Amino acid sequence: MKNKKETKQKLIQAVGEIIKRKGFAGLKISKIANLAEVDRKLIYRYFTNLDGLIEAYVKENDYWMLFSDVLKEVAEETPSSNVKGLIVAILQNQFRYFYSGKEMQELILWEISQENPLMRSIHHARESYGQKFLAMTDTHFQRTSVNIRAVTALLVGGIYYTILHARFNGGMISDIDINTDVGQDSILKALEQIVGWAFEAADKELL
């Protein structure tokens, strides 16, 4: 059992290394097995096929899946009066995690540029995790015209685009260099402000 666990981890780590170097397009059974220094047959034995191995890798590295248990615990302990702070923290942490994770950048690039059943499945799983936290805001926004899901959709999309743009075309976007501490702080503050404005607009309608 110990050897099985170690071998599976070697294969998952090999996937990450190849993604860093060549992106998801570089993932091949033979290359993964060679890098992990294990028999390629073990990929089929432990993960069924390449998609199963990629899915295992994503579950260990995707922001929403990796921290789902922690986020769920935090959400359960967060009073309704501080839901805004929780949403802000989740978005800010997603920005930090995505900025520092080249593998996850490659995942999103592949996800939005390829018609792939596996990527679609991963997207739906990620969405289900996100919806659990957005559901916490329903009582605050249900009698208002503010659509917090639309707001967060734009913020998440903005996080992805801003970071991917900085990686491939330079750090400047809207005159902000997110490859600097000052630039990153500006984005993090803007995330907090936008979520705050959404809550404030809802509060005004409820008065």
What residue spans define the domains of the chain? 2-59, 62-206
104/37 Cα distance (integer angstroms): 24
Q: What is 2-59's CATH number, 3.30.70.270, 1.10.3720.10, 1.10.10.60, 3.40.50.1950?
A: 1.10.10.60
Instruction: Work out the number of other CB atoms within 10 angstroms of the CB of residue 201.
Output: 15
83/75 Cα distance (integer angstroms): 8
Of residues 133 and 168, which shows the higher confidence score? 168
Long-range contacts of 26-34 (CB under 8 A, 24+ apart): 27/54
The answer, as to whether pTM is greater than 0.75, is yes
Per-residue pLDDT tens over the stretch 141-159? 988 999 999 999 999 999 9
